[in-house]
């Protein structure tokens, strides 16, 4: 289902209507041309097995494949201070079977117990559990990634331990649940008031929804979740820390009528108003580990164009010309940061990106260099001024005419350079509209010189569409239709009408990737979709919405 025009009717919050709402408001994600990780199925990720035992496995036998020093095969693990690394469930095992998702639901939620985590690709053997293996993670889903981005090569999962070597690895990896031939997205319908009721007391981490403040409790929250096998830096000079297992989310906040409070309402009493009032998208974590989000009014977001009802009536079933005037649809456009997978509301170019959290956490000196807008032109202008000031030396008459000639030559060169700068400044707005970049770098902080959120290749959306003339690209990019878009595989979790109808892993509060020691500094432990206080990414987008509204 493609985006439609927002409905002017108050819609009862029935299961059928909320499902239609989730499909109608599916966002359109625009990816970078150099991206190699796309939203994958959590079930496929959990089903990964390997035949090679881990070095500590007592059940291995001499005629088995050799132990795997990287410890691959999706397993549920903990690192206990007393006993060290312990695999609690999952692969590898003597029966060769994958992890049972029910084991995630049974994992401990006690705040005093070690936080469990999933291990998919394991650790580099020489890193003291400080680095994972992004290339192995890419190879595991490379068939799907190559369909999304034809610049990537499909590497059969069992071809090599390090892609491209042509040697079969000792682990004999398998995905028992295949990755669908489309990007995967999950949608959750939740009540804002339910988020507020999760914590009666302030946990002290700066993300508390105070129960005494109920001004936003009437919102219906529609959160879209995407899962990536890995996050990685975009290239050299990028300080983004890699991680295994990454969740990101985007939430739409709809006005409702008929209910409020912290309890999930009886849906027969609730009606939903379109379009949403706010949109809030996740953008990584700050130095304290808090999930950050950017919030905008719906009216300030970019959406795909949709023909108006009058235009449809005038033309019947005929194909609309590309130049017809179109109204904004329900389909929100988001730009996905290359490697970091942060969501952005717009393309960005060479501008510092301060996260909306504690700005004192940002090292502003790191963004005052060449990545900062205007740095190079001002530096060149400063050198010209210095040259003109020091060209003539009246105290040395023997070189007077040489000084005069040098002076006028310097003026001529300065004029040429200034004219070039003027042309560049006049052309910059048009260039910026055509192809915008972002200088964002780390998961936590900007560093400058980073390209991301270009949105110049594959799209993932509710349905493939015919691009505008300036959006068309040669070749089949991301879908069999030949258009530069691919449809989402959407699954809905409706916490209002069926609060317990969700997969066994949905409330898993551990990390979705390996835990790293931090000694190396280039990797970060995997992310959580929900924490031990039952706060999901949807909760954190709700918190930042309330913070945004409070700031006016």
**Greater pLDDT, 34 or 221:** 221
**501-512: burial string, b at 16+ Cβ within 10 Å, e else:** ebbebbebbbbb
The winner for highest mean pLDDT among 26-40, 109-123, 299-313, 338-352 is 26-40
Q: Is the pLDDT of residue 197 over 80?
A: yes
Which residue bears the tokens 């302030």?
202
> Does the structure show a pLDDT above 60 at 491?
yes
Quick check: bond before 435 cis, omega within 30? no
Between 69 and 514, residue with greater pLDDT: 514
Task: Give the pLDDT of residue 158.
Answer: 67
Lowest mean pLDDT among 247-251, 326-330, 414-418, 524-528: 414-418
Task: Report d(CA 247, CA 250) in Å as an integer.
Answer: 11
Question: Which residue in 442, 466, 461, 467 sits closest to 522, CA to CA?
Answer: 442
Alpha carbon distances (Å) from 399 to 387, 389, 409, 414, 489: 17, 17, 15, 22, 77
pLDDT of residue 105: 83
Taking residues 484-488, what's their average pLDDT?
Answer: 77
For residue 278, what pLDDT band results from cuts at 50, 70 and 90?
very high
419 or 404: which carries more pLDDT confidence?
Answer: 419
User: What percentage of the chain exceeds 90 in pLDDT?
Assistant: 42
Residue 445: per-residue pLDDT: 32
pLDDT, position 57: 83
Entry pTM: 0.77
Whole-number pLDDT of residue 33: 84
Average pLDDT of the residues in 151-175: 68
The continuous run of DSSP H or E covering 80 comes out as strand 75-80
Tally of CB atoms within 10 A around 211: 15
Peptide bond into 103 cis (omega under 30): no
* pLDDT of 521: 82
């Amino acid at each position: 289902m493609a985006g439609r025009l927002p409905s002017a009717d108050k819609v009862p919050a029935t299961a059928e209507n909320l499902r239609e709402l989730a499909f109608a408001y599916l966002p359109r994600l625009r990816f970078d041309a150099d991206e190699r990780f796309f939203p994958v199925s959590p079930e496929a990720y959990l089903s990964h097995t390997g035949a090679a035992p881990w070095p500590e496995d007592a059940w291995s036998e001499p005629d088995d494949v050799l132990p795997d020093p990287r410890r691959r095969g999706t397993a549920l693990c903990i690192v206990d201070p007393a006993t060290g690394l312990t695999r609690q469930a999952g692969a590898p095992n003597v029966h060769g079977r994958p992890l049972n998702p029910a084991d995630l639901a049974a994992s401990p939620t006690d705040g005093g117990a070690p936080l469990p985590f999933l291990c998919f690709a394991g650790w580099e053997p020489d890193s003291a559990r400080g680095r994972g293996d992004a290339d192995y993670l890419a190879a595991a889903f490379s068939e799907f990634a190559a369909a999304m981005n034809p610049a990537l090569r499909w590497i059969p999962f069992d071809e090599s331990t390090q892609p491209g070597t042509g040697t079969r690895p000792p682990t004999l990896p398998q995905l028992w649940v295949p990755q669908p031939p489309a990007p995967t997205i999950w949608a959750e319908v939740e009540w804002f008031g339910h988020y507020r009721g999760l914590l009666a007391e302030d946990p002290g981490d700066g993300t508390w929804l105070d129960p005494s403040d109920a001004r936003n409790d009437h919102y219906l929250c529609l959160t879209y979740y995407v899962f990536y096998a890995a996050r990685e830096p975009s290239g050299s000079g990028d300080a983004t820390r890699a991680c295994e297992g990454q969740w990101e989310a985007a939430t739409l906040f709809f006005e409702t009528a008929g209910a409020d409070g912290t309890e999930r309402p009886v849906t027969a009493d609730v009606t939903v108003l379109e379009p949403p009032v706010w949109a809030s998208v996740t953008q990584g974590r700050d130095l304290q580990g808090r999930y950050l989000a950017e919030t905008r009014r719906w009216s300030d977001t970019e959406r795909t164009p949709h023909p108006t009802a009058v235009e449809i009536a005038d033309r019947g079933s005929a194909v609309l010309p590309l130049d017809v005037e179109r109204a904004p649809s329900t389909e929100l456009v988001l730009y996905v940061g290359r490697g970091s997978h942060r969501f952005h509301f717009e393309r960005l170019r060479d501008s510092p990106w301060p996260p909306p959290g504690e700005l004192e956490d940002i090292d502003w000196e790191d963004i005052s260099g060449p990545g900062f807008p205007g740095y190079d032109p001002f530096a060149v202008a400063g050198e010209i001024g210095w040259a003109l000031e020091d060209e003539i030396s009246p105290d040395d008459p023997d070189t007077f005419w040489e000084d005069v000639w040098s002076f006028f030559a310097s003026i001529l060169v300065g004029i040429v350079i200034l004219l070039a700068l003027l042309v560049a400044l006049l052309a910059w707005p048009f260039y910026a509209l055509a192809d915008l970049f972002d200088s964002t770098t780390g998961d936590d902080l900007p560093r400058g010189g980073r390209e991301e959120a270009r949105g110049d290749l594959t799209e993932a959306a509710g349905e493939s569409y015919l691009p505008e003339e300036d959006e068309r690209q040669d070749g089949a990019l991301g879908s069999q239709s030949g258009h530069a878009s691919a449809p989402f595989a959407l699954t809905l979790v409706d916490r209002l009408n069926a609060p317990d109808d969700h997969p066994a892993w949905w409330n898993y509060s551990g990390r979705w990737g390996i835990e790293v020691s931090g000694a190396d500094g280039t990797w970060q432990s995997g992310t959580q979709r929900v924490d031990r206080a039952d706060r999901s990414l949807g909760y954190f987008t709700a918190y930042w919405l309330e913070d945004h509204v409070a700031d006016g």
